[in-house]
Amino acid sequence: MNKLILTATLATTLLAAPAFAAELGAAQVQAKLRAAGYTQVHELERDDGLWEADVSRADGSFEEVIVDPATGEIFDPRSNRALLDAGQVLALAEKAGLRQIESFERDGATWKLEARNARNQRVEVRMSGHDGRVLSSKREGWWD
């Protein structure tokens, strides 16, 4: 009887546990880009936790876009979505707990920052250029 109760408890726990979404792989990202209307994906690589793709559009123009592997969101600087300016990004970075921002630059429809996080660790951060949310954060060194 105890084994039956234990088995039922384990099954309930496993079924109730939240499922973690798998990140998109290269083939899925290419399919997502084609579905979004890009005619060709020339290069696709993973950098700073995000996918970077060199793509062509139907009009023949070429662009680098960023794809969030968790959500599949495409960050294209030529999309119709509004982009935040530097002041807005810096304010949102502070709200996200970043301080001592040493450098920041716009990279397409994202922003790259080098700063210190709430634990005073040096980090490289990529933020959405549309809403300022942190897309990736990578610690710069183990010695901090």
d(CA 110, CA 84) in angstroms, rounded, equals: 9
Q: Topology of domain 86-139, per CATH?
A: Nuclear Transport Factor 2; Chain: A, (3.10.450)
First to last CA, the chain: 54
pLDDT of residue 142: 63
Predicted local distance difference test score (pLDDT) of residue 101? 95
pTM of the entire structure? 0.79
Q: Are 40 and 32 in contact (CB under 8 A)?
A: no
**Are both 2-75 and 86-139 of the same fold?**
yes
CATH 3.10.450 fits 2-75, yes or no: yes
Give pLDDT, residue 114.
96
pLDDT at 1: 52
Place of tokens 């996918």: 51
SS (H, E, C) 101-128: EEEEEEECCEEEEEEECCCCCEEEEEEE
State the pLDDT at residue 124.
96
Q: Which of 93, 96, 95 is nearest to 104 (CA)?
A: 93
**DSSP string covering the chain:** -HHHHHHHHHHHHHHHSPPPPPPP-HHHHHHHHHHTT-SEEEEEEEETTEEEEEEE-TTS-EEEEEE-TTT--EE-TTSSS----HHHHHHHHHHTT-EEEEEEEEETTEEEEEEE-TTS-EEEEEEETTT--EEEEEE--TT-
Per-residue pLDDT of the chain (144 residues; tens, 9 = 90+): 545 443 444 444 444 444 556 899 999 999 999 999 999 999 999 988 999 999 999 999 999 999 999 999 999 999 999 999 999 999 999 999 999 999 999 999 999 999 999 999 999 999 999 999 999 999 987 665
pLDDT of residue 136: 95
**Domain ranges within the chain, ordered by starting residue:** 2-75, 86-139
**What is the dihedral sign for C-alpha 76, 82, 88, 93?**
negative
pLDDT value of position 21? 65
